[in-house]
Amino acid sequence: MDISDILSVTMGDIVEQEVDAIVNAANNSLLGGGGVDGAIHYAAGPQLLEECRTLGGCPTGEARITKGYLLPATWVIHTVGPIWKGGNFMEEKLLTDAYRNSLYLAEEHGIRSIAFPGISIGAYGFPVDRASGLAVGTVIEHLRSGSELEDVRLICFNENAYDSYSKALYEILEHIPDM
């Protein structure tokens, strides 16, 4: 199967995605916050917060999984992206780890469809052009390694993010052979 049949970039709302799992761009506490994190907690209902309290937080670059509760998605994979501090504090590695660990967790739970927001590109200030290339590259690397995923969506909340992620996908796909 061609990667472009599995991986897509779409404008939309992460909480409305009808997939097995959505990814939450969480903070280290996993107890809710602003942006995507707040929207997911609000849409999922109070049971999500109750379950998150039992997890004991999550280090940057790692991922945890909970039920989706009132969301269309069965699961929520919570990952903590890095705060951008200029690029000299392992931000790129930590962002790659956040995507990679989310994908590993999805595979471990038999998830076949997953939707990601733009991790770290909002309040955490990661430059969208750099984040998009890392996100797309990490997902493609995972798909080419024998993944069982059938549908991976990169959900963008504005046109700037959409343009950047679409460009990254196009440029990377242009330079790799089909699966």
CA–CA distance from 37 to each of 28, 54, 117, 119 (Å)? Answer: 11, 17, 10, 10
CA dihedral 160, 153, 69, 52 (to 10 degrees): -70
From the list 2, 37, 97, 129, the catalytic residue is 37
Taking a C-beta distance cutoff of 8 angstroms, is the pair 88, 1 a contact? Answer: no
Token couple for 10? 């779409």
Taking a C-beta distance cutoff of 8 angstroms, is the pair 141, 173 a contact? Answer: no
Q: Note if 37 is an active site residue.
A: yes
Point out the residues that are catalytic: 37
